[in-house]
């Protein structure tokens, strides 16, 4: 009995994009899906009811951050992450690997794991595949991620090859250390950078371990967009049809559509919530910086084509005023709008797949 089920509903005849359904112990949702990021067990400024209201069924939380604060033992004592934060939908946790590699400059990678310093206190820490599993088991997320190395872009072929091999050995250790496979599904992460041969090797290694889902890691780390699309083109066909595919850290509107076209089912990114906090909004006409002076007397919504709570009730002039005066309602309204925008975009993408017209949708986007 596995914790995660995937059903492929339909493939778009025009593009090959997949319409599917993922079921976790906390409900089910259609894919392609965008997952809002709640780093510290909160999607910044949003109450769980608001996330539900804007259409989110699954959110992501960060193992590394929760390990440091408040500590996974406290979350476990509260009854797990769902209980702790009052979210009854699905939760995916990352492995902590990405933060160890991106936040910490004092790190040393060994076969056993990674030594590094806490980015807040400077304290020496160590994270291993077994540690990452123990923390995620305590958090109780529905989907856990294997502990991998996420090398920077660009990396040499030789470095990437040894990294891919280590990530495969770590994946095997993760599978062995995972204590609750009936309640939490563990995804493997395909690495290999821009090298087709290494992506093949990585996929082969991980598929032999039979994870309930697979992520594509090591993208959206500074490579040009055409490199990402090319890597997706040769990587998604390596993954099994009957399991979900998750592209980590991708969240610009055009990348979501490009990823779906190339067979990706799940996405996450801090982009919509991060830019919302400095007053930048995603709209059907591109990015809009509502702080700008030209909106001081603009009494129209952020996006004329959006029917979210923010756009139905508030004007650019008002939101600009709130953000300029550091009123917290301002960033709540922009956060709500940006998340709604991406969740709605994915719902439009699913509709286009259902009707075999995602290619046309992309051309008009």
DSSP 183-212: TSEEEEEE--TT-HHHHHHHHHHHHTTT-S
Closest separation in Å from C-beta 330 to Zn ion: 14
Cβ-based neighbours of 150, under 8 Å, separated by 6 or more: 97, 98, 101, 102, 191, 217, 218, 221
Q: Is 268 a catalytic residue?
A: yes
Q: Figure out which of the listed residues 245, 337, 350, 362 binds Zn ion, where binding follows CB under 5 A.
A: 337
Distance in Å, CB of 50 to Zn ion, minimum:
13
Instruction: Pick the closer one to Zn ion by CB: 5 or 291.
Output: 291
The distance of closest approach from Cβ of residue 302 to Zn ion in the complex, given in angstroms and rounded to an integer, is 5
Q: Token digits for 358?
A: 């995602």
Candidates 206, 221, 311, 333: give the one binding Zn ion (CB under 5 A).
Answer: 311
Tell me which of 205, 258, 265, 268 is the catalytic residue: 268
| 308 counts as binding Zn ion under rule CB under 5 A | yes
Nearer to Zn ion, 107 or 321 (CB): 321
Please tell me whether residue 342 binds Zn ion under the rule CB under 5 A.
no
Stretches 26-34, 308-316, 323-331, 345-353: which one binds Zn ion (CB under 5 A)? 308-316
Cis upstream peptide for 3 (omega within 30°): no
Residue 86, both tokens: 């009052």
- Taking CB under 5 A as the binding criterion, the range among 136-144, 160-168, 246-254, 332-340 that sits at the site for Zn ion is 332-340
3-state secondary structure of 93: strand
Q: Which listed residue (94, 142, 205, 303) is catalytic? A: 94
Residue 154, preceding peptide bond in cis (omega within 30° of 0): yes
DSSP annotation string for 28-49: EEEESEEE-B-TTSS-TT--HH
Position 306 contacts Zn ion (CB under 5 A): yes
Question: Is 94 in the active site?
Answer: yes
Spatial distance between the Cα atoms of 108 and 98, rounded to a whole number of angstroms: 14
Q: Is residue 243 a contact point for Zn ion (CB under 5 A)?
A: no
- CB proximity list for 210: less than 8 A, separation 6 or greater: none
Minimum Å gap between C-beta 61 and Zn ion is: 25
Q: Which residues are catalytic?
A: 94, 268
Contact set with Zn ion (CB under 5 A): 306, 308, 310-311, 337
């Amino acid at each position: 009995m596995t914790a995660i089920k995937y059903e492929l509903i339909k493939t778009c005849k025009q593009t090959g994009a997949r319409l599917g359904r993922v079921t976790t112990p906390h409900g089910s949702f259609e894919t392609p899906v965008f997952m809002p990021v709640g780093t510290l067990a909160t999607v910044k400024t949003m109450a769980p009811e608001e996330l539900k209201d804007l259409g989110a069924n699954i959110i992501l939380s960060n193992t590394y951050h929760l390990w440091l604060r408040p500590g996974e033992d406290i979350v476990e004592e509260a009854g797990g992450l769902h209980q702790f934060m009052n979210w009854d939908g699905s939760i995916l946790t990352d492995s902590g690997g990405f933060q160890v590699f991106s936040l910490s400059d004092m790190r040393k990678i060994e076969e056993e794991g990674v030594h590094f310093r806490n980015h807040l206190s400077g304290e020496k820490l160590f994270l291993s595949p077994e540690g990452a599993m123990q923390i995620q088991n305590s958090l109780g997320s529905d989907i856990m991620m294997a502990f991998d190395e996420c090398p920077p872009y660009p990396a040499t072929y030789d470095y990437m090859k040894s990294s891919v091999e280590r990530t495969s050995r770590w994946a095997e250790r993760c599978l062995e250390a995972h204590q609750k496979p009936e309640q939490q599904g563990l995804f493997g992460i395909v690495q290999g950078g821009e090298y087709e041969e290494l992506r093949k090797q990585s996929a082969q290694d991980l598929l032999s371990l039979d994870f309930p889902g697979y992520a594509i890691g090591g993208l959206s780390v500074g490579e040009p967009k055409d490199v990402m699309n090319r890597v997706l083109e040769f990587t998604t066909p390596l993954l099994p049809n009957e399991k979900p595919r998750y592209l980590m850290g991708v969240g610009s509107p055009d990348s979501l559509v490009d990823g779906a076209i190339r067979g990706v089912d799940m996405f996450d990114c801090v982009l919509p919530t991060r830019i919302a906090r400095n007053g930048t909004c995603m709209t059907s006409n591109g990015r809009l910086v509502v702080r700008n002076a030209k909106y001081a007397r603009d009494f129209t919504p952020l996006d004329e084509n959006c029917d979210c709570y923010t756009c139905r009730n508030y004007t650019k002039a008002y939101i600009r005023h709130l953000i300029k005066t550091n009123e917290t309602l301002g960033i709540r309204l922009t956060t709500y709008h940006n998340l709604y925008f991406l969740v709605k975009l994915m719902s439009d993408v699913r509709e286009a797949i259902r009707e075999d017209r995602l290619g046309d949708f992309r051309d008009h986007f």
